Amino acid sequence: MMARAGYYTTGAALAILFLFPLLWSGYASVSTESGFGLENYGRLFTSDNGIRPYHVVNSVLVCLITVGGTLLISTLGGYAFGRFRFPGRDLLFLVTLAILMVPYATILIALYVLLGWMGLQDSLLGLGLVLIMFQLPFSIFMMRNSFEAVPKELEESALIDGCNSFGVLTRVMLHAVRPGLITVGLFAFLTSWNEFFAPLILLNSTDQFTLTLAVVNMRTATFGSIDYAALEAGVMFMAVPCVLLFLFLQRSYVRGFMSGALKG
Amino acid sequence: MTVTSSRSRRAGWVGAAYAAPTALIVGVFFIVPLLLVGWMSLHDWPLLGLPEINAPENFTAMADNELIADAAWFTVKYTVIITVLLFAVAFGLALLVQHQRRGVGLLRTAFFLPVAVGFASASLLFLGLLSQEIGPFKTDEYISWTSGSPSLALGSAVVLVLWRFAGFNMLIMLTGLQAIPTELYEAARIDGATRFQIFRRITVPLMRPTIALVLTLMIAGSLLAFDQFWILTRGGPDNSTTSLVMVIYREAFIRLDLGAAAALSVVLLGVLVVFNVIQFGVLRSRRGA
Amino acid sequence: MRGTSPQRAMLAVLASAALVLGMAACSEGKTNTPAALAVDDGATLTLWTRAATEGVSKKFADAYNATHKNKVQVTAYPNEEYPAKLASAAGARALPDLFASDVVFAPQYASENLWLDITDRVNALPFKDKLAKAHLDNAVWKNKNYAVPHTIDMSVMLYSIDLYTKAGLDPSKPPKNLNEFADHARKIDALGGDVNGTYFGGNCGGCNVFTLWPSVWAAGGEVMDKEGTKSTVNSKEMADVFALYRKLYDEGVAAPAAKDEAGPTWLGALQGGNIGIAPGPSVWLGLIEEKGVKMGVAPITGISGGESTFIGGDSMGIGATSTKAAQAWDFLQWTMGDEAQVEVVAKNKGIPFRTDLAANKYSSADPRIVTINNLVAKGRTPYAKNFNATYNDPQSPWIATFRGAFFGPDAKKALDDGAAKLTASLQKS
């Protein structure tokens, strides 16, 4: 009995600690000089440097490109790494993981140069492709392990039915690795929605800017003062869609992790 | 040639075809820029105009840069602190929520929710949270939580990182914990093992691959730390929270010396690769033993 | 030209080998044609600036677009990350047609040839001699002009009229030297409560360059040599100024937050209305009064008299990779003309960077503006190629130096060590 009470007290205390910053930010974003209201959000949308509808559109487009591309590539790649042996397999896998080990600041200059050559500078597509690259270590790792965790029998029964490997992938495997796919998609969304440094460097014109750029731009609009309340409103505006999606997909991504997807 | 080998060869090509998009993205957007960075590190590389080979000057010049030595020391210190704390907190949380019981889902959600906030957003959130203007930690005597003293600044960054990343690492470790067959625990309990013995003899050894993964992620992430210091402490006070990537940023964008920045990146990448190879080797030999 | 087919991607991979050659092969634009210097033919011009200057740039662009065929499009980036943006764009040879930079960074950008050489165009200006000289000269590298003034911001003493009155001081008699400034600050600080005598950016490189150096110049001292290659931060004049502020901080006359002020909340502190007198940017006058705090303005003085100011603000030049130099110059030339200076700058309470327009129909309405405008001729803009890395950057040796002088155990040693480190940083190639 005591142990149980102790467990829940500790658990609750820790939960409050972890929820506190978000709750405070929500509170700060609606508290004004005269009580509560949406004035801070008003400034967020109406000030000179504030958020405009096209920022949201651009962010959504980048998210679509990144999530779609990451899902496609990591599904095929995860299938390859999890189910096939081919020349260069281990090398490619290690090189993909090595993406985690490169300092962002320098490689972005090289990427900027590269996108210029490809005619993709200042484009959401180019930004999306770069973000897909940065998502690959996590996604390939996750999908490889998801595919490895699928029982061989499932696949063999489909092969006996006369499917080729692609048929097996689309008819049987995709369903089996769905939790992994949702996890990969969710994290691709979170990254692309929240990314600040890559769009800053890779996008040149105002009408291509994403939400994060608008929010950070507000921070420094006037040198010498920070509109903290509007800043927290911006943080909330960025965070709420993510939090909702998170809660909505919770069952799936927990299963995605659980399906042995992140074993070493 | 046997039938199996020709079939496996064909399967090999099929596999390579599935891996082709990955190879294309990794090749074009990672290998090519990486080679370019390596190439730059051998040159005096102006923003515009003709680069000139000056190897190994970009590498030897690091010795004279006091900032690099300080930043390297700080980055190592930070990496140790974060790895120890983050590991302890995440493992603790994972142990706390590993068993199904009432309300445990809520706890998992609460610990994991900060992952939904982007790192830049999280840093901005803490900028407000820790400010004396609107933050709840306003003190009568003025204290700057983010730049009042080196330990306060470091502490603020550590709290931010713990908050943002503990849940993610908790989930990975939870995965490892749940992969341990319950029969093993039951057998140990029947043999009269204490909780601590079970933890040491069963949980930890079977968790080794997961622990290795988590440690790798933490160490690579900490050695490349940038955002939390860039937004929260600006590397201060008195350069006490200047990380190596901040020095790379300064070389590239403030001093406009792309060659020096590239050289420093190459060294940092080298350290990380060597480190991982060693860790990999240690793990493999332990596994074999 | 857009697409991501594998062929194109492969081409890009191959092209990587040609990078070095490519960079060398096309370093000269189409600027040598003897055609007209300025053209208004309906071109679209991209203009980059930092968030702090965006307001001014947009007002210029709107007024210009309304009366010209060329169209200027303004893009603003966050202040802190703006240099990174410029550097990466330059590295990819994708600079905009026009871009602004903090005037103190201009020598660095000019030396890297990020702007086009516009010496001939500047020399052809009928009002060249009337442009703020210190500002214009900062965008010169090896006797060639690379940029012209875009905005001007000067350091001045800002003081609260209310607190002056409350402390029994006469608001019409601001301090005539730095010792008097300290006395006034002490008297106001004695009011107690939330009120503090003064404020400064104790952890902000750019702030202290801007607010302390004029006191050194006013006393006849120097902080660097003219070429920006040798620091004299340990001169008596500079040491005196540090000692005075150090004392104010030790006595609690300066707000405690001053020690950690890295810039982002500097204005906010003055807008609170609880600071008696502090040096700061002249453009904040309006921003502080917006919050209902009535302010007086006075020149920054030396320890025992004299006055000077730091002429800051932004320079603007034509991006080195631009193919529309003549159109871009048409815009730049227009921004310096009588109409833009009076109807865009002065009307919005800015400082005209044409000295012959210091007195205009808008400035005469506010005597404080006349005070500010007249300072342009007395002010200086320090010149150094490595200014950002040496003074502004959060990791600069300047910050370590002045923090030692303000708060460290041994101010003299901090300044002597600092002078050596600053000189080394200034001389780094």
Q: How far does the CA of residue A168 sit from the closest CA of chain C (Å)?
A: 26
Contact B209 A264 (CB under 8 A): yes
The reply to whether B15 falls in a domain is: yes
So where are chain A's domains?
Answer: 1-37, 49-261
Contact B175 A74 (CB under 8 A): no
Look at the block and give the residue holding tokens 């499917």.
Answer: A163
In this predicted structure, the answer to whether residue A261 has a pLDDT above a threshold of 60 is no
The reply to whether C70 falls in a domain is: yes
Which of A65, A202, A204, A118 has the alpha carbon at shortest distance from C1? A118
ipTM of the complex: 0.89
Tell me: do C191 and C278 sit in the same domain: yes
Q: How far does the CA of residue A230 sit from the closest CA of chain B (Å)?
A: 10
What Rg, from alpha-carbon coordinates, does chain A have? 22
Nearest-Cα residue of chain B relative to residue A70: B22
DSSP labels, chain A: -HHHHHHHHHHHHHHHHHHHHHHHHHHHHHEETTEE-SHHHHHHHHSTTS--HHHHHHHHHHHHHHHHHHHHHHHHHHHHHHH---TTHHHHHHHHHHGGGS-HHHHHHHHHHHHHHTT-TT-HHHHHHHHHHHHHHHHHHHHHHHHHHS-HHHHHHHHHTT--HHHHIIIIIHHHTHHHHHHHHHHHHHHHHH--HHHHHH--SGGG--HHHHHHHHHTSSTT---HHHHHHHHHHHHHHHHHHHHHTHHHHHHHIIIIIT--
Q: What does the buried/exposed string (b/e) look like for C353-378 if buried means 16 or more CB atoms within 10 Å of the residue's CB?
A: bbbebbebebbeeeeebebbbebbeb
Which pLDDT band, with edges at 50, 70 and 90, does A220 fall under? low
Q: How far apart are CA C223 and CA C74, in angstroms?
A: 36
Could you check whether the bond before residue B56 is cis, i.e. omega within 30 degrees of 0? yes
Determine what percent of chain C is predicted with pLDDT higher than 90: 71
In this predicted structure, the answer to whether residue A184 has a pLDDT above a threshold of 60 is yes
Q: How many residues does chain A have?
A: 264
Contacts of B238 in chain C (CB under 8 A): 399-400, 403
Q: How far does the CA of residue C151 sit from the closest CA of chain B (Å)?
A: 22
Nearest-Cα residue of chain C relative to residue A200: C85
Look at the block and give the residue holding tokens 């999890």.
Answer: A82
Q: How far does the CA of residue C260 sit from the closest CA of chain B (Å)?
A: 6
Interchain contact B35–C (C-beta under 8 A): yes
Contact C90 B28 (CB under 8 A): no
Determine what percent of chain B is predicted with pLDDT higher than 70: 94
Tell me: do B104 and B219 sit in the same domain: yes
Tell me: do C237 and C251 sit in the same domain: yes
Contact B120 A212 (CB under 8 A): yes
How open is the CA angle A90-A180-B277, to the nearest 5 degrees? Answer: 30
Tell me: do C408 and C262 sit in the same domain: yes
Phi, psi of B225 (to 5 degrees): -60, 135
Contact C257 B144 (CB under 8 A): yes
Contact B142 C20 (CB under 8 A): no
Tell me: do C213 and C297 sit in the same domain: yes
Tell me: do C198 and C99 sit in the same domain: no
The reply to whether C172 falls in a domain is: yes
Task: Determine contact, residues C372/C353, Cβ cutoff 8 Å.
Answer: no
What is the model's pLDDT at position A224?
62
In this predicted structure, the answer to whether residue A70 has a pLDDT above a threshold of 50 is yes
Span B21-45, average pLDDT: 94
Tell me: do C304 and C317 sit in the same domain: no
Contact A215 B121 (CB under 8 A): yes
Tell me: do B176 and B34 sit in the same domain: no
CA atoms within a 13 Å half-sphere pointing along the CA-CB vector of B6: 3
Contact C268 A224 (CB under 8 A): yes
Alpha-carbon torsion, ordered B208, A140, B79, B157, to 10 deg: -120
- For A49-261, which CATH class? mainly alpha
Interchain contact A121–B (C-beta under 8 A): no
**Which among C355, C373, C391 is the end of a domain?**
C373
DSSP labels, C98-156: EEEEEGGGHHHHHHTT-B---HHHHHT-TTGGGB-HHHHHTTEETTEE--EEEEEEEEE
Q: How far does the CA of residue C72 sit from the closest CA of chain B (Å)?
A: 25
Tell me: do C137 and C177 sit in the same domain: no
Contacts of C19 in chain A (CB under 8 A): 113
Span C215-221, average pLDDT: 95
Interchain contact A126–B (C-beta under 8 A): no
**Which among C373, C399, C414 is the end of a domain?**
C373
Contacts of A208 in chain C (CB under 8 A): none
Pick from B10, B13, B26 the residue to mutate for testing the A interface (most A CBs within 10 Å).
B26
Q: How far apart are CA B222 and CA B48, in angstroms?
A: 33
Q: How far apart are CA A142 and CA A75, in angstroms?
A: 10
Span C275-290, average pLDDT: 91
- For residue B226, the domain's CATH number is 1.10.3720.10
Contact B124 A72 (CB under 8 A): no
Contact A217 C2 (CB under 8 A): no
Q: How far does the CA of residue A120 sit from the closest CA of chain C (Å)?
A: 6
Task: Determine contact, residues C152/C311, Cβ cutoff 8 Å.
Answer: yes
Token pair of B136 as six digits: 């709840």
Residue C278's DSSP bridge partners are: C158
Look at the block and give the residue holding tokens 């706890």.
Answer: B107
Chain C: list its partners (3+ Cβ pairs within 8 Å). Answer: A, B
Q: Which of residues 218-277 of B touch A (CB under 8 A)?
A: 220-221, 224, 226-227, 244-245, 248-249, 252-253, 258, 261-262, 265, 268-269, 272-273, 276
Task: Determine contact, residues C214/C300, Cβ cutoff 8 Å.
Answer: yes
What is the model's pLDDT at position B284?
64
Interchain contact C75–A (C-beta under 8 A): yes
What is the model's pLDDT at position C22?
38
Q: Which of residues 288-347 of C touch B (CB under 8 A)?
A: 320-321
Q: How far does the CA of residue A196 sit from the closest CA of chain B (Å)?
A: 7
Range of the domain at C300: 154-311+381-427
Tens of pLDDT, residues B165-188: 999 999 888 888 888 888 888 899
Contacts of C83 in chain B (CB under 8 A): 253-254
Q: How far apart are CA B44 and CA B286, in angstroms?
A: 45
Q: How far apart are CA B116 and CA A18, in angstroms?
A: 12
Q: Name every residue whose Cβ is closer than 8 Å to that of residue B178 and which is 6 or more positions away in sequence.
A: A258, B98
Nearest-Cα residue of chain C relative to residue A122: C94
How open is the CA angle B254-B238-B128, to the nearest 5 degrees? Answer: 85
Contact B103 A8 (CB under 8 A): yes
Q: How far does the CA of residue A204 sit from the closest CA of chain C (Å)?
A: 8
Contact C16 B47 (CB under 8 A): no
Three-class DSSP category at C296: strand
Three-class DSSP category at B85: helix
Lowest mean pLDDT among B139-148, B263-272, C144-153: B139-148
Tens of pLDDT, residues C305-336: 999 999 999 999 999 999 999 999 999 999 99
Range of the domain at B76: 66-288
- For residue C76, the domain's CATH number is 3.40.190.10
Q: Which of residues 165-224 of B touch A (CB under 8 A)?
A: 166-167, 171-172, 174-176, 178-179, 208-210, 212-213, 217, 220-221, 224
CA atoms within a 13 Å half-sphere pointing along the CA-CB vector of A197: 19
Number of CB pairs, chain B paired with chain C, less than 8 A apart? 97
Which pLDDT band, with edges at 50, 70 and 90, does C109 fall under? very high
Tell me the average pLDDT of chain A. Answer: 86
Phi, psi of C98 (to 5 degrees): -135, 140
Q: Name every residue whose Cβ is closer than 8 Å to that of residue B52 and which is 6 or more positions away in sequence.
A: B43, B44
Nearest-Cα residue of chain A relative to residue C1: A119
Interchain contact C323–A (C-beta under 8 A): no
Higher-confidence residue of C20 and B95: namely B95
DSSP code at position B199: I
Q: How far apart are CA C54 and CA A73, in angstroms?
A: 41
The reply to whether C318 falls in a domain is: yes
What is the model's pLDDT at position B277?
83
Tell me the average pLDDT of chain C. Answer: 89
In this predicted structure, the answer to whether residue B1 has a pLDDT above a threshold of 90 is no
Task: Determine contact, residues B156/B197, Cβ cutoff 8 Å.
Answer: no
Domain count, chain C: 2
Which pLDDT band, with edges at 50, 70 and 90, does C117 fall under? very high
Pick from B130, B146, B234, B249 the residue to mutate for testing the C interface (most C CBs within 10 Å).
B234
Tell me: do B81 and B140 sit in the same domain: yes
Of B47, B142, B246, the CB nearest to C114: B47
Higher-confidence residue of B18 and C369: namely B18
Domain count, chain B: 2
DSSP labels, A197-215: HHHHHH--SGGG--HHHHH
Tens of pLDDT, residues A237-251: 999 999 999 888 887
Token pair of C355 as six digits: 């000295």
Write down the pTM of the prediction: 0.88
A115-119, A151-155, B92-96: range with highest mean pLDDT: B92-96
Look at the block and give the residue holding tokens 């509808």.
Answer: A53
Tell me: do C204 and C271 sit in the same domain: yes
Contacts of C106 in chain B (CB under 8 A): none
Contact A113 B36 (CB under 8 A): yes
What is the model's pLDDT at position C319?
96
Pick from B117, B231, B269, B287 the residue to mutate for testing the A interface (most A CBs within 10 Å).
B117
Interchain contact C26–A (C-beta under 8 A): no
Interchain contact B106–A (C-beta under 8 A): yes
Tell me: do B76 and B15 sit in the same domain: no
Longest distance between any two alpha carbons in chain C, whole Å: 79
Q: Name every residue whose Cβ is closer than 8 Å to that of residue C195 and which is 6 or more positions away in sequence.
A: C163, C188, C189, C274, C275, C276
Span C7-30, average pLDDT: 40
Residue C157's DSSP bridge partners are: C279, C298
DSSP labels, C357-403: GSS-TTGGG-HHHHHHHHHGGG-B----TTHIIIIISTT-HHHHHHH
Span A51-78, average pLDDT: 95
Q: How far apart are CA C362 and CA C343, in angstroms?
A: 9
The reply to whether C7 falls in a domain is: no
A25-29, A98-102, B142-146: range with highest mean pLDDT: A25-29
Tell me: do C267 and C216 sit in the same domain: yes
Interchain contact B86–C (C-beta under 8 A): no
Look at the block and give the residue holding tokens 């309340």.
Answer: A229
Tell me: do B129 and B254 sit in the same domain: yes
Tell me: do C224 and C169 sit in the same domain: yes
Q: How far apart are CA C45 and CA C330, in angstroms?
A: 11
Tell me: do C223 and C182 sit in the same domain: yes
